[in-house]
Amino acid sequence: MLTCFIRYEIDPFRKDDFATYARNWGEAIPRCGADLIGYFGPHEGSATTAYGAYNIESLAAYEAYRARLAADPLGRENYEFARRERFILKEDRIFLKNVSLPHGKE
């Protein structure tokens, strides 16, 4: 299992747009096959940093998932919304493996 962490740099005056974007992914991502952990927007501290995180079985599964997401009506609409409104200034994606499992097992 891999976890995809997405770090966003967002326009601090467009946090509501990012929240709409995040809620849309809250519907589309699970429907297209990834296990959404969540999207996290600024609250205290940095007003420009946000995160998204989800689990996916493998990089091969990720490629199939991305194709489904691009074909999904809400997925397409959300990509277009972000492109048109430009509230995301930068996006970085990394895939990490949880190497501390199992937690707390003796």
Give me the pLDDT at residue 29, please: 98
- Name the DSSP letter for residue 17: H
84/58 Cα distance (integer angstroms): 31
Residues facing 52 on adjacent strands: 6, 39
47-106: pLDDT as tens digits: 999 999 999 999 999 999 999 999 999 999 999 999 999 999 999 999 999 998 887 665
Give me the pLDDT at residue 103, please: 79
Give me the pLDDT at residue 26, please: 97
Q: Where are the domains of the chain?
A: 2-96
Average pLDDT over residues 5-11: 98
Average pLDDT over residues 9-36: 97
Q: CB-based burial of residue 80 (10 Å sphere; 0-12 exposed, 13-18 middle, 19+ buried)?
A: exposed
Which architecture, in CATH terms, is 2-96? 2-Layer Sandwich (3.30)
| Phi and psi angles of residue 101, each rounded to the nearest 5 degrees, phi first | -70, 150
